[in-house]
Amino acid sequence: MLKCSSVGELSRKDPVTDLDLIIIGGGPAGLTAGLYAARANMKAILLDSKDVGGEILNTELIEDYPGFESVTGSELAQKMAEHALKFGLKIETYKPVKEIRSEGDRKIVKLEDGTELSAYAVIVTVGGEPTKLGVVGEKEYHGRGVSYCAVCDGAFFKGADLAVIGGGDSAFQEGLFLTRFANKLYVVHRRNDFRAQAILQDRLLKMDKVEPITPAEVKEIGGNGDVKWIDIERDGKRERVNVEGVFVFIGFKPVGRHLFKEHIDHDKNGYLITDQYMRTSIPGVYAAGDTRAQLAKQITTAVGDATTAVLHAERYIEELKDIERVFPGEPKEVAAETASKAELLVFAPGEVVLREGEPADRFYMVIKGEAEATQTGPDGAQVTIARFGPGDYFGEIGLLNDAPRIATVRAKSALEVMALDRAAFSRLLESSQATKAEVRRVAEGRVRLDRR
């Protein structure tokens, strides 16, 4: 078991409300997100329903993670967890999540024990549960010869004849582990060709004790209290194969979407749909790793997903806080929606943000640095009419009046601004009379200044 820190607050009945980020799932994706969040000094917590490590805890040998020619799943999980803990990540294990819901700009995560946590953003990295064969005897003999984890149960079958069901990487990796204990190992796959990596196929299938059975489907699992045989169908004929253990590796069903009280977009298989920043259809909710729809399900892709997700989540949280600070009367849910649609732009000193006379298409809020607005005077010289710092905004006049820009804005120093397109700006104004009045008041003041 991996040793993790504890926040020591999760037994409270009142919600923990001062969090920036909640990470759900402690596999490679979750631990990577936690590492980056901790390094960024975010108020973050990682929750896992079991021990951290995820599915790699069930993998005996990993040989395709850069920097490690060969490492066990548990060793890699331990190193990842220790790295994140070193930077102060708070991890709570054996804290299963029951429900995630939105309340204004906050995401409320309810645990099975009734505890509620609140944060600006959530990154979901939970994987799934093993896909079942759905045949007679599978449920009856689960734990009595039927297993979905070779690393967990393989040692109980020393000297036995076993069957691995599946043709992908997981089936072959687990099959290699089982050859340590099995007298005979059958690899049953419904297609002629296996999908596992060539190197895995070469290693497993060249062993004398291994026999592939293809194309074949398992039709029934039977025995007399414990598993004694499987019935398969091959070439239209039913055959009985005597085995004492059946290890099923035919895929996983994602469970991430079932955590949400509201609708979240997913594909036909239940995987969460994200954009290139790992954003889901719910503002402030991100998905990374095996829970999202993607081509490959590898440790490397999970780590990459998580890096992207947490870096964008950090930006989203800061933008949300800026909107709330500048427009305190804005409804929280609209602030969250606006932040999710904002784009962060960075300008070097002297670089033009917007130019006098150009069409107005965006509204800007200053995050960091300073900017200066100038106009062309009667003699053609540039006249400074305004300066902007953190919390100030500009670009509203052209959008309100549907007119060209009345001034040029340049970065006076290294500048970061949050940009909203016309639709997001309109939504911001329509949602709150206080916000609308404030933006118009500032705009009218600037127009009067322009007329002088």
Q: What DSSP letter does each residue of 163-223 carry, written as one string? A: EEE--SHHHHHHHHHHTTT-SEEEEE-SSSS--S-HHHHHHHHTSTTEEEE-S-EEEEEEE
d(CA 217, CA 113): 41
The overall pTM is greater than 0.85 = no
Considering the domain boundaries, does residue 43 fall inside one? yes
- pLDDT for 15 equals 53
More confident residue, 7 or 434: 434
pLDDT in tens, 228-255: 999 999 999 999 999 999 999 998 888 8
Q: How far is CA 73 from CA 66, 70, 254, 321, 346, in A?
A: 14, 10, 21, 39, 40
pLDDT in tens, 125-142: 998 888 999 999 999 999
> Which of 149, 231, 361, 392 is labelled catalytic?
149
Q: Verify that 115 and 20 share a domain, yes or no.
A: yes
Q: For residue 216, what pLDDT band results from cuts at 50, 70 and 90?
A: very high
Query: Is 4 annotated in the active site?
Result: no
Considering the domain boundaries, does residue 297 fall inside one? yes
- pLDDT for 4 equals 55
Query: Is 149 annotated in the active site?
Result: yes
- Flag whether pLDDT at 446 surpasses 70: no
Q: Verify that 239 and 384 share a domain, yes or no.
A: no
For the chain, the domain total comes to: 3
Q: Verify that 242 and 270 share a domain, yes or no.
A: no
Q: Verify that 95 and 161 share a domain, yes or no.
A: no
Q: Calculate mean pLDDT across residues 212-221.
A: 96
Q: Verify that 350 and 444 share a domain, yes or no.
A: yes
Q: Calculate mean pLDDT across residues 266-283.
A: 92
- Flag whether pLDDT at 269 surpasses 90: no
Q: Verify that 161 and 193 share a domain, yes or no.
A: yes
Which of 213, 248, 283 is the last residue in one of the domains?
248
Query: Is 322 annotated in the active site?
Result: no
Considering the domain boundaries, does residue 374 fall inside one? yes
d(CA 89, CA 74): 19
Which of 248, 275, 291 is the last residue in one of the domains?
248
Q: For residue 9, what pLDDT band results from cuts at 50, 70 and 90?
A: very low
Q: Calculate mean pLDDT across residues 5-11.
A: 44
Q: Verify that 179 and 264 share a domain, yes or no.
A: no
> Which of 64, 152, 193, 265 is labelled catalytic?
152
Q: For residue 153, what pLDDT band results from cuts at 50, 70 and 90?
A: confident
292 is in which domain, residue-wise?
Answer: 16-126+252-324
What sign for the dihedral angle of Cα 300, 302, 305, 307? negative
Under 8 Å between Cβ of 410 and 309: no
Q: Verify that 301 and 219 share a domain, yes or no.
A: no
Q: Verify that 237 and 259 share a domain, yes or no.
A: no
pLDDT in tens, 13-48: 455 668 999 999 999 999 999 999 999 999 999 999
Which of 324, 357, 373 is the last residue in one of the domains?
324
Q: For residue 450, what pLDDT band results from cuts at 50, 70 and 90?
A: very low
Q: Calculate mean pLDDT across residues 390-418.
A: 90
Q: Verify that 184 and 35 share a domain, yes or no.
A: no
Considering the domain boundaries, does residue 37 fall inside one? yes
Q: Calculate mean pLDDT across residues 287-315.
A: 91
- Flag whether pLDDT at 447 surpasses 80: no
Considering the domain boundaries, does residue 138 fall inside one? no
Q: Verify that 238 and 257 share a domain, yes or no.
A: no
CATH of the domain at 407: 2.60.120.10
- pLDDT for 428 equals 80
More confident residue, 207 or 294: 207
Considering the domain boundaries, does residue 9 fall inside one? no
Q: What is the per-residue DSSP string for 406-428?
A: SSEEEESSSEEEEEEEHHHHHHH
Under 8 Å between Cβ of 59 and 75: no
Q: Which helix (H) or strand (E) holds 365?
A: strand 362-368
Considering the domain boundaries, does residue 3 fall inside one? no
Q: Verify that 90 and 151 share a domain, yes or no.
A: no
Considering the domain boundaries, does residue 78 fall inside one? yes
CATH of the domain at 211: 3.50.50.60
- pLDDT for 451 equals 37
- pLDDT for 11 equals 42
Q: How far is CA 377 from CA 148, 256, 374, 381, 384, in A?
A: 76, 59, 9, 5, 10
